[in-house]
Amino acid sequence: MGVDYREGPDMGLLKRLFGRGAPAAAPSEILLVNAYATLRELPPLPFPHTMLGRRDLTDPELPTHLDGFVGYVMGRGDGQMTAVRYHLWRHLQRVRNHASFEVSSIELPRLEAWALDANAVLFLPDGSVRSPDMATLMSSAGESDPSAVLPHPADALARRARSLERLKSLNPRPLAGMPPSIGEAELVLRPPAEVLRRALALFHLAAWAEAHASGTDPIPGGRPDLNPIGYEALSPRECERIADGCTFEEANALTWRYEAANALAWSLGLKGGRIEESDTQINVNALWRSLAPLAVAGGIASTPDLRSAGEILDALDRTWREHWVVRQAREKELPLEGVDGDVVAERHVALNWLTGFQNAPNAAWDDIDTPT
């Protein structure tokens, strides 16, 4: 249950935090708070406090600290994975700012409002992890308050609602309780030139695989002389695959990388990139016509800007839920209508890479995961 501030700070909470057995803890107690916020910029603390330290991802020690905190969360209680534990882990994975400060307990209402604005969870002296309203996401013993809810930015919540409305005719229908993806204030996109290189590399790989599977010469996008930027941007794993060769089945699967290239081309606003529908495969020739002028010397200098953050996040949130539907349908052996599972899977990995969603910051392409 959250804290009721109408009668002042929650005395039960304060008694637990300060180890008091008295029926009424003093309202002026000083509370040590560690806040873990997912926003790019930490909002100023609008209440009296003593800042003990703050850091962001430019501090090389923060990722190590967060890994340790994840270990703490995963090791509480019996260590069994629950929905709360899983999504708390995902929140910590997205943390970009950590602040440690002391604040008077009389400032709890203002602390709650600030934590909501910062999209932060709070670690308190009793070893608990709290939502902004002080509900217990996880106690030191690994227990959770069923009413505790992780914070999410308002635009991410609104985006989830739009995605669910759009996908309501799918079977199985996406879970209403599946959390939002991320909000605009959390988002850090890859630079446009890096996105273009990756799109060209994916097109090159898919074209090479198509030629390898069919025993024919590759189309222009699969030739190093006509797509030198894409060839040079191949990942280590992609280079190994081309050097070592692969079976027909493996090559055929790699041709789906056209769809990942398409998603990134769309994010750059290129005419050949289209993701409006999720049940239609792309026109490979049209995609290459958009990419070809950018694939040769000097092409990177002409890289267009990325689409707006809102457009990209709309696509990410929708695709994530569509991929959940695809996996559920395959697991339950249900007919899948309205989406092409392979199209959605490739789109998902491309958008997760572009946005950093559900992956470590700046994770390499070869390490990108697409959990649903």
Confidence of residue 17 (pLDDT cuts 50, 70, 90): low
List pLDDT tens digits, range 143-158: 999 999 999 999 999 9
At residue 39, the pLDDT reads 98
Examine the pLDDT at 362 and tell me if it is beyond 70: yes
Examine the pLDDT at 24 and tell me if it is beyond 60: no
At residue 3, the pLDDT reads 34
At residue 298, the pLDDT reads 87
Examine the pLDDT at 245 and tell me if it is beyond 90: no
Examine the pLDDT at 310 and tell me if it is beyond 60: yes
Cα–chain center distance at 91 = 9
* 46-50, 99-103, 285-289, 299-303: segment of lowest average pLDDT: 299-303
Examine the pLDDT at 19 and tell me if it is beyond 50: no
Confidence of residue 27 (pLDDT cuts 50, 70, 90): low
Pairwise pLDDT comparison (361 vs 59), residue with the higher score: 59
The stretch 345-363 carries a mean pLDDT of 96
Percent of the chain with pLDDT over 70: 93
* 22-36, 78-92, 112-126, 229-243: segment of lowest average pLDDT: 22-36
Examine the pLDDT at 14 and tell me if it is beyond 80: no
Return the half-sphere exposure (C-beta side, CA atoms, 13 A cut-off) of residue 105. 23
Examine the pLDDT at 7 and tell me if it is beyond 60: no
List pLDDT tens digits, range 172-198: 999 999 999 999 999 999 999 999 999
Examine the pLDDT at 280 and tell me if it is beyond 90: yes
Pairwise pLDDT comparison (16 vs 207), residue with the higher score: 207
Pairwise pLDDT comparison (1 vs 59), residue with the higher score: 59
Pairwise pLDDT comparison (217 vs 4), residue with the higher score: 217
The stretch 156-172 carries a mean pLDDT of 96
Measured CA to CA, the distance from residue 233 to residue 194 in angstroms comes to 9
The stretch 299-317 carries a mean pLDDT of 96
At residue 11, the pLDDT reads 43
